[in-house]
Amino acid sequence: MIAYADRKIALWHIGVAYTAFLIGTLMGVLQVFVRNDSLALPAWLDYYQVLTAHGVLLALIYTTFFIFAFFITGMSKSLGSFGPKVRLYSWIGLWVTLLGTVMATVLILIGEASVLYTFYAPMQANGFYYVGLALVIVGTWISSFALVGHYLVWRRRNKGQLSPLFAFMTITTIIMWIIACLGVVATVLFQYIPWAFGWTDTINVELSRSLFWYFGHPLVYFWLLPAYIAWYTIVPKLLGVKVFSDSLARLAFVLFILFSIPVGFHHQLTEPGISNFWKFLQVVLTFMVIVPSLMTAFSMFATFEISGRKKGGTGLFGWFKKLPWKDVRFTSIFIAMAFFIPGGAGGIINASFQLNEVVHNTLWIVGHFHITVGTPVAMTFMGLTFWLIPYLTGRRFTKRMQILGFVQIITWSIGMLLMSTAQHVLGLLGAPRRTAYSGYNNHPAALEWFEGIVSNHVTMAIGGSILFLSAMILMYIVIMTMFVSPKAETPEQIVEFPLADSDMSNTPKWLENWWIWIGIAAVLIVVAYAIPLSHMIQHAPPGSKGFITW
């Protein structure tokens, strides 16, 4: 068990994460009923407030706070208890991030920031909304530097040794996060805040979007890599085996530092102002990110087969039956991995020049987002929740909670399949995203999109309702395991933090030479961005004034 002071910091992060999750899922279920014309919102609340709150609270706030709870717990477990300075800066990071969250959320809910999750200019929010977003990023940096400091202390005390795999992967993710945030920090501080407060009259729209997507795509990997950490370091422990390959795992994470950042233009393939050469270059770099994901898939299924055969599985797929399907922590994570297969395939489609023309700015993208972030990432976090909270609180994860856990992940899977499939199909037919008016003023050709059994707003609403039910079950499990479930009294009842053993004897030490990877990443970023961004600045159009369209 990690120190009480460290557990307290992690539990506060989880508490904030699930508060954001509760509000965000409520906003989500309101959305699907508004689009289905089954619900009229009150005068003080409109669709775009709901849509913005849903995206910000779930995609940014819930994930960020939960990820840092996971990191804090794992770093304290694998490297030893935090020192007083690390704890102090972890608390400061928490409170700064929370302050920014409250500011941004209040401004969204009072109708001052209905600019959606991507806050594209020239839509303009209250200036303090951008200040709140900046504080969220600054707070995460403070928390990140606290964890990096804890890592450096361990390195000084253990010179010449490779760090534990969990710590290595955490630092990798933090390095990627800090580099990625430079783009959104630049656009918010030097473009959005002066523009929103009236200090400048116009904003360079193309530059602001490019800087956002410099951050926006690696943000996806900031969500995904903690799930990968769980897959690499926790799943093998649940299966009773070692990590399949320590060096493969480390190399996969290093590749994400290199190839997750200089790829933002693949979100801007339909935008003018960026030459096809630079778009094509970043599409190629995007496809390079597939490599570490395939390495991860290979490692995971090798781990499954080793475990199954160790337990007596024979034949081609006999090992599959021997996996611990009765353990909800494993089953939830396995289902999350399975969902990532169609999610990853959809990502390849989105990043392709010609195919992107078909799906860009349609509901396909919304479906893709939910089947990647909303399932592989979210369901992995749910599986982690089932043991992380009992571990931190010292409470039992009772049989009743285990049964409810299975109900929760099954309902989440069904709801997501219904909703995301409907969104994918409707997107292929042409239904737009980011709007409550998807029928083009009841144009007959548009209404035909919604006549199918799957391609129907009713199907989306049913899926969204099942997801909301699943979310409420999860909230019940969270509250029970945090405050109500009985304390563990015997060794068998104690929930442990299950980090797998890792054989580092053949792992090259240069994999943990961060300056190599940061240097290569910097070169790739300069190659991919220096010329197009300088062109946007030197040949900038007159710029745009702010618009409030709601």
Closest to 468 in 3D by CA, of 418, 397, 399: 418
Establish whether 209 is a catalytic residue. no
Is 157 assigned a catalytic role?
no
221 is catalytic: yes
Residue among 340, 334, 338 at smallest CA distance from 307:
334
443 a catalytic residue: no
Contact assessment for residue 143 and residue 87, using Cβ atoms and an 8 Å cutoff = no
Residue 178 half-sphere exposure, CB side, CA atoms within 13 Å?
15
Cβ atoms within 10 Å of 458's Cβ, excluding its own: 13
Catalytic residue among 89, 221, 232, 259: 221
Catalytic, out of 150, 209, 329, 370: 370
Instruction: Report how far residue 112's alpha carbon sits from residue 115's, in angstroms, rounded to the nearest whole number.
Output: 9
Residue 540 is given by DSSP the state: -
Catalytic site residue from 35, 368, 396, 424: 368
* Residue in 7, 13, 209, 217 annotated catalytic: 217
Report yes or no: 498 and 453 within 8 Å, Cβ to Cβ.
Answer: no
Query: Among residues 434, 440, 476, 535, which one is catalytic?
Result: 434
Q: Which of 35, 329, 396, 433 is catalytic?
A: 433
Q: Is 360 labeled as catalytic in the residue annotation?
A: no
Active site residue 151: no
Q: To 10 degrees, what angle do helices 4-35 and 84-109 make?
A: 20
368 is catalytic: yes
* Environment class of 463 (CB within 10 Å of its CB; exposed 0-12, middle 13-18, buried 19+): buried
What Rg value do the Cα atoms of the chain yield, rounded? 23
- For residue 189, give the amino acid letter: L
Lookup: tokens for 427 = 């997107």
List the catalytic residue out of 369, 386, 397, 529.
Answer: 369
Nearest to 1 by CA among 495, 353, 470: 495
Burial class (CB in 10 A: 0-12, 13-18, 19+), 22: middle
Distance from C-alpha of 467 to C-alpha of 39, rounded to nearest angstrom: 18
Active site residues: 217, 221, 368-370, 433-434
